[in-house]
Amino acid sequence: MINAKGNIKIFKQVVFVCISITVCFMFFAGCSSGEEQAENIASTELLKDADVLPEEATGLLLHSVEEQGDRVVVTTSYCVLAYPFAFSDLIQVDVVDDENCSSVEFRALIGEEEYLLYAILFDSEEGIYLGTLDATEQSDAVDVYAELYPVDESLNEDSLVAFMAAQETFNDVVFSLAENDSFTPAK
């Protein structure tokens, strides 16, 4: 049987071990937090550098594609678009800016192939008319259209299901377009 002095000694050892573990945990948590802060500062600086554009740069530009809560937010020089985060590994976003039309293209990455799902078109007269974006610093008011692309007939059943599910994010993107203050929907 252990006497009272033995119990106190064991109690002190247990407390010492618990405090040691807590201090080590706090130290390592603090280190990883510092690393995360350094990464965030570095990525913020990169984003600031990416936003510095030559004065002659006009037209549709892609500023960022990032996770914000349960959505992937695509920020362009014209507007902000979003689709569900659940599709972040499946959907790729590209900006095409040429003389005839500017667009944000959404593609499904299925296997090793990319398939066009849909595009939001600016200053085009083709596709489904969605509305108008009021003038911004980079441009005058622009008409906004959408184009849905047909299913590639070479897709197998599983790939077809993935394509169709990804193409349904079109509704989310159009809804997010309507959240832009400068957007006036078609009547």
pLDDT in tens, 64-85: 999 999 999 999 989 999 999 9
At 176, is the secondary structure helix, strand, or coil? helix
Same domain, 127 and 104: yes
Q: Is 5 within the bounds of a domain?
A: yes
- pLDDT attached to residue 85: 96
This prediction has a pTM of 0.67
Query: Alpha-carbon distance 73 to 133, whole Å?
Result: 18
Helix, coil or strand: residue 148 = strand
Q: Find the mean pLDDT for residues 29-57.
A: 40
DSSP symbols for 8-69: HHHHHHHHHHHHHHHHHHHHHHHHHHHHHHHHHHHHHHHHHHHH---TT--S--EEEEEEET
Cα distances from 30 to residues 22, 41, 140, 152, in angstroms, run 12, 16, 49, 50
**113 and 95: one domain?**
yes
Residue type, 91: I
57 domain-assigned = no
- Each residue's pLDDT tens digit, 93-151: 999 988 778 999 999 999 889 999 999 999 888 899 999 998 666 567 889 999 999 99
User: Which of 28, 52, 76 is the endpoint of a domain?
Assistant: 52
Residues 72 and 134 in one domain: yes
